Amino acid sequence: MPQKYRQIIHSQTKQALSHRLHKTVYPAIGISFVVEIRCQEPAISQSILRKIDGIIPNTTLQEFAGNESEISEFMKQEVSRVTDLLYPDMLFQLVSELKKALPELNKHLIHDRHPLDSCDESLQKLMNHIEKYGAGSADYWVGANVAVLPDFRIDLDNEFLQVSTNGDVTLAKQISWVMIQLRFTMKAYLDYQNKHVFYREVAEAMQQVIERSSFESSDVFVAILSAAVRFKEDGQDGTENYFERRQQYLNAVQCFIEDHEAAVLP
């Protein structure tokens, strides 16, 4: 067979296999599973691509006497034939890959959920620690467009919300320590976008206390932690829904494996 025809059959078979795989996988699992469960998009392996060339017939096409319409119909039939032959192998490879990947994907989900499940406990432990031992001390917090400092600084970007402790270095360092603890405690609820909202809400809460005519340092810490709890509760539904979707996708993958495993065993 002339090389140009072999190339056309190879290319069209590859497209047909990919199309059939997507029609099989996506309705069963959902397109979003590619992103949600960190699974690679179904693709045709190199071994399958090599098999295509081995199956394409070596006919000279002389029987068609140069009739392009008959050659086109022959090639169409060959694409369908080769696709039918190779699709079970390709599906078997995909099922095997998903079956191998699923335990690790489940571990990822449990690992990612842990900060969410332990957030309430971690916040309570932080509250208890501060009540019993007081807050620790850390370098001044400057991050997420919030700065906690003893005095205002004119060299900071205008985007920063500066919280001044009116010259109280100890309090500024204690607040900074609490902010650092929150960064780890609240990480399940924070992302690149909403972290600025979170730290601004916390900063505004502590600022309201500091602006009073008189207050205790414990009042500031309570305001910070209360703001964190409110933020967590406001975002809890969305975060829970995210993990529920991931679990649903993993369940769908498990069902897909079970539905197709027996059918594609070599």
Task: Give the closest residue to 225 by CA, choosing from 127, 154, 143.
Answer: 127
Cα–Cα distances in Å, from 175 out to 136, 212, 213?
A: 8, 17, 19
Burial of residue 19, with CB atoms counted within 10 A of its CB: 0-12 exposed, 13-18 middle, 19 or more buried: exposed
- Contact predicate 78/12, CB 8 Å: no
Q: How far apart are the first and last CA of the chain?
A: 30
Least confident window among 143-147, 176-180, 250-254: 250-254
pLDDT score, position 64: 61
Say which amino acid occupies 133: Y
pLDDT at 36 over 50: no
Least confident window among 64-68, 180-184, 192-196: 64-68
Total-model pTM: 0.55
pLDDT score, position 38: 43
The pLDDT-based confidence of 34 (bands split at 50, 70, 90) is very low
Two tokens, residue 195: 């972290």
pLDDT score, position 60: 59
Of 87 and 220, more confident: 220
Give whichever of 5-9, 189-193, 200-204 has the largest mean pLDDT. Answer: 200-204
d(CA 105, CA 92): 19
Instruction: For the chain, give the percent of residues with pLDDT over 90.
Output: 33
Q: For 63-82, what is the mean pLDDT?
A: 80
pLDDT score, position 75: 83
pLDDT score, position 264: 56
Task: Give the closest residue to 58 by CA, choosing from 15, 13, 5.
Answer: 5
Burial of residue 13, with CB atoms counted within 10 A of its CB: 0-12 exposed, 13-18 middle, 19 or more buried: buried
The pLDDT-based confidence of 203 (bands split at 50, 70, 90) is very high
Dihedral of alpha carbons 123, 126, 127, 128, sign: positive
Give whichever of 20-29, 74-83, 103-112 has the largest mean pLDDT. Answer: 74-83
Quick check: helix, strand or coil at residue 149? strand
The pLDDT-based confidence of 62 (bands split at 50, 70, 90) is low
- Contact predicate 33/109, CB 8 Å: no
Average pLDDT score, the chain: 83
Burial of residue 241, with CB atoms counted within 10 A of its CB: 0-12 exposed, 13-18 middle, 19 or more buried: exposed
Q: For 217-241, what is the mean pLDDT?
A: 86
Of 25 and 35, more confident: 25
Contact partners, residue 143, CB within 8 Å, separation at least 6:
199
Say which amino acid occupies 235: G
Of 220 and 154, more confident: 220
pLDDT at 246 over 90: no
d(CA 97, CA 41): 11
Cα–Cα distances in Å, from 245 out to 6, 30, 236, 240, 249?
A: 44, 11, 14, 9, 6
- Contact predicate 52/82, CB 8 Å: yes
Burial of residue 176, with CB atoms counted within 10 A of its CB: 0-12 exposed, 13-18 middle, 19 or more buried: buried
